[in-house]
Structure 1
């Protein structure tokens, strides 16, 4: 199978190793840094045998990579997806599968707007979470995969294709694929867009952007009760929204259920003990004097500006109050020196840079529901 991987981060490296190790696959890579990649990527598998994935072609030119691809997987930040989709749109072949790992951030709306879905029978899918936890150890050459998931939930824009993509991904990734009911189960997923901001707020809420710390704390191992309490409140606000949407969204489990916990104390214990999270540091960067908050981290840009804020956008559309989510957004936008939320509404001057639903001509609950009803 001819597979195109778009991106250059942890998941892109891992996918090349996982998919390129199978000689029946031809893996192509579209990346901004083609000269920094070797022809083989090694996956150091902490749970089993290492893998060596072959790259047949690597380029920053979509016209060289995308034609003839039967499957295209985006493994890049939410804020980079629209420009990437525009870049590859002229070269996507008839009947191609195109998906994102993961898919929150209005990926489905971007594809609907910029790809000739009906004309070329392009089939869109996305995962709710990433297939593995990994960290690049040597760019373009090696990645350490600390944990590969046993299963992954996936959704298609057209439900008629759910079984086909589930079988395909299950075979390629050697894992159970759980089909979701509606793309909103990815769009409104309470994974990173809720998880990371809750922890960052509890960790950094009393800090200034230029305040220096002696060391960078672990993100999960030092997770505290306040982080869990904020996370639970935001998760409850999202589920208040889900109750207003008349679709089967049972694929979005309450986070307490997802982490097999019943209260904030148990959730804290759970998150501090997950082996795959061990050693992951907080979004800070090293300077001569110590460490300061890294405002360019994906935890801020992707999980807040293109994650939590887009959830807020949908909540506002359905007139759902989100006091805790608002509290976290107000804090984050002050650090980022952005003007998004004004008096509880996304009407700030910097909202123009976001992928809000207005930019996709969706301005009412009826228009919103109509899109996802037809999906």
Structure 2
């Protein structure tokens, strides 16, 4: 801890992504002595607000607020990557490939640069290793979840802060040294109030159950071949958690069981400790506690979680002379959760001969619904990752 009489060494943070997480972290970091914060965003409104001299305000849970004017905001990585110590990627998984390619030529080369993602799911360690192969000084990391919830974003102007996580779980690429991990933990101790736990393996982040199986299972239960809205349109918006169908919860439980079986096989093959990767119902209950009214079943947990109230499914007009709404195949629920989340699980199961019938069923249907895979996590899945034939 730096005393008030000491001048802290400068810590230069570049946040990539002008969404809720990027805005809130930027404002919070600027409250800290010696921390410089720059934001890389393709949102012209955020850049314009900064150029007019307007700061960003964070509205706090207790009714107060804090504000900050960042040290730079630009859509050009060449403007703000100079001397970066930490680069935090907050873009969705399907946008990270292009982002890393854009920033790679501008990263400093004369010191360690800690490049990571919040959250670090969808195999960010493999993606960064693939694209930043020529940047030998880069230390790759990821955070298991966002450090705070955030909502009500007014780009470039304000963001509302929700609850903070009590503990932050961070992993580094398996190649990183103990020295690099120690220095990274020191940076996070300076940036965040919550304690940081360094995980043993990045797979603990990659395999943590979350949106890829949650979103895809509920969508499949709604509009898949067994769903009430199969080949039909919605007359009005729906909230996909409080209105989750029974068949959606059914598939979610089975996908989660298959994911746990995959973890068990990976533990055997790689001698990895994945005990932190727990069943999804337990993860939800622990995360939201008393906000869940009925914890009896997966369905009741989803439907009675007050934190999920009002969250609408991604619907768009049906078009083609049809009335009503359909699931948006361009939404993150497909382009991120399926193409970069489920695709990883399916490939891991194939490599290790682990049966994932429900996950594969939903994956195949989802890929067909979204018109096929364009970019996906299979573009950077390691070719040398373990392969185990049937009967081995």
Distance 1:65 1:295, change over 3 A: same
Correspondence for 1:346? none
Q: Distance in 2 between matches of 1:242 and 1:333?
A: 24
Secondary structure at 2:377 match in 1: coil
Q: 2:301 aligns with which of 247, 266, 270?
A: 270
Q: 1:353 aligns with which of 375, 384, 390?
A: 375
Q: 2:196 aligns with which of 157, 173, 177?
A: 177
TM-superposed CA distance for 1:357, in Å, is 6.4
Q: 2:338 aligns with which of 289, 304, 310?
A: 304
Contact 2:17 2:41 in 1 (8 A): yes
Secondary structure at 1:97 match in 2: strand
Secondary structure at 1:353 match in 2: coil
2:41 aligned with 1:24, yes or no?
no
Q: What whole-Å deviation, never above 9, does each CA across 1:263-297 have from its counterpart, x for those lacking one?
A: 98433333334343332111113579543211111
Contact 2:343 2:377 in 1 (8 A): no
TM-superposed CA distance for 1:106, in Å, is 2.2
2:84 aligned with 1:50, yes or no?
no
Correspondence for 2:249? 228
Q: 2:166 aligns with which of 126, 142, 150?
A: 150
Distance 1:359 1:267, change over 3 A: closer
Secondary structure at 1:356 match in 2: helix
TM score, norm. by length of structure 1:
0.84
Distance 1:137 1:90, change over 3 A: closer
Aligned length: 351
Q: 2:233 aligns with which of 197, 212, 218?
A: 212
Correspondence for 1:239? 260
Q: Any unmatched runs of 5+ in structure 2? A: 1-10, 287-293
Secondary structure at 1:365 match in 2: coil
Q: Distance in 2 between matches of 1:47 and 1:300?
A: 36
TM-superposed CA distance for 1:20, in Å, is 2.7
Secondary structure at 2:336 match in 1: helix
Correspondence for 1:347? none
Correspondence for 2:8? none
Q: What whole-Å deviation, never above 9, does each CA across 1:64-102 have from its counterpart, x for those lacking one?
A: 111111111000011111221111112212211111011
Contact 2:125 2:172 in 1 (8 A): no
Correspondence for 2:205? 186
Q: Which moved more, 1:228-237 or 1:13-22?
A: 13-22
Q: Distance in 1 between matches of 2:379 and 2:386?
A: 9
Please provide the CA RMSD for this pair.
Answer: 2.6
TM-superposed CA distance for 1:137, in Å, is 3.1
Contact 2:130 2:380 in 1 (8 A): no
TM-superposed CA distance for 1:325, in Å, is 0.2
Q: Distance in 2 between matches of 1:215 and 1:100?
A: 35
Contact 2:81 2:107 in 1 (8 A): yes
Secondary structure at 1:221 match in 2: coil
Contact 1:47 1:146 in 2 (8 A): no
Correspondence for 1:103? 120
Correspondence for 1:282? 313
TM-superposed CA distance for 1:27, in Å, is 1.0
Contact 1:10 1:143 in 2 (8 A): yes
Q: What whole-Å deviation, never above 9, does each CA across 1:324-345 have from its counterpart, x for those lacking one?
A: 101211221221122xxxxxxx
Correspondence for 2:357? 323
Q: 2:147 aligns with which of 115, 126, 131?
A: 131
1:353-372 matches, within 5 Å, as: 353-356=375-378, 360-362=382-384, 364-365=386-387
2:147 aligned with 1:113, yes or no?
no
Contact 1:232 1:264 in 2 (8 A): no
Q: Distance in 1 between matches of 2:150 and 2:245?
A: 24
TM-superposed CA distance for 1:47, in Å, is 5.2
Larger C-alpha radius of gyration, 1 or 2?
A: 2
Q: Distance in 2 between matches of 1:267 and 1:237?
A: 16
Correspondence for 2:291? none
Correspondence for 1:371? none
TM-superposed CA distance for 1:163, in Å, is 4.1
Q: What whole-Å deviation, never above 9, does each CA across 1:97-132 have from its counterpart, x for those lacking one?
A: 111011122211122122257732x21110122223
Contact 1:154 1:178 in 2 (8 A): yes
